Chain A
Amino acid sequence: MSKKAFTFISRTAPYGSNRPKMSLDAALATAVFEQEVNYLFMDDGVYQLLANQNGEPIQAKTLGNALETLDLYGIDEVCVDYESLQKRNLEACDLAVPVTLLDATQMRALINRSDFVINL
């Protein structure tokens, strides 16, 4: 199987729906098949990356911890829309994992060079 470039875009906050979890599961599964996987967080999706999350009080799995495994699974790049971060008064140092901050031009380039874009 030839290697394809996948980009997953996640745009929703972590615990209000199962979409972030679905997106993560799909991305990890894709990485297992040794594909190039990029993960792009936009809009409320950036909240998924906040450090010091604890899902226990609401009987939920802590998504932030799960995102820390992205690196282990060989996810090539964890990218964040810098504008979405700024609009929420957040900075890269507020996040649980190291990320690449992208501006609009860089995001366009990422989408353009991807073979598949999965929006969840």
Chain B
Amino acid sequence: MSSLHTISRSPQHKLLQACLKVINPGDEILFIEDGVYYCCDKKLLSLISRDNYVYGLREDLIARGLRDKQDALVEVVGYHKFVELTVQHSKTVSWF
């Protein structure tokens, strides 16, 4: 039973740290809304294990002027893939 974790608030709310406490190998993380600010923070992204794949939502990155600033660890995806991810995992855990 894998989970998709969505994080939708900026790093100052420390949602990533809370999420990492309960994340399992094979779970994936998707940064959306203000959560996309994580995509440019190498140091915070380095807290994430290589067992957890990381995505950032393209529309939210573009809106915030971050489209070309995201770290190489982050795969940029659109809404279509967002929907696919929610289907692929047995549940979605939303951190907000």
Chain A residues in the interface with B (C-beta under 8 A): 9, 11, 42-43, 81, 83, 104, 107-108, 110-117, 119
Contact = CB atoms under 8 A, between A and B. Distances in A.
A117 B94 CA distance: 8
Contacts, number: 36
B21 A81 contact: yes
B18 A42 contact: yes
Interface centre among A42, A116, A117 (most CB of B within 10 A): A117
A115 B3 CA distance: 10
B21 A107 contact: yes
A112 B18 contact: no
Given A111-B3, A117-B3, A42 B21 contact: yes
18 contacts: A11-B18, A42-B18, A43-B18, A83-B21, A107-B21, A107-B22, A108-B23, A108-B24, A111-B23, A112-B3, A113-B1, A115-B90, A115-B91, A116-B91, A117-B91, A117-B93, A119-B94, A119-B96
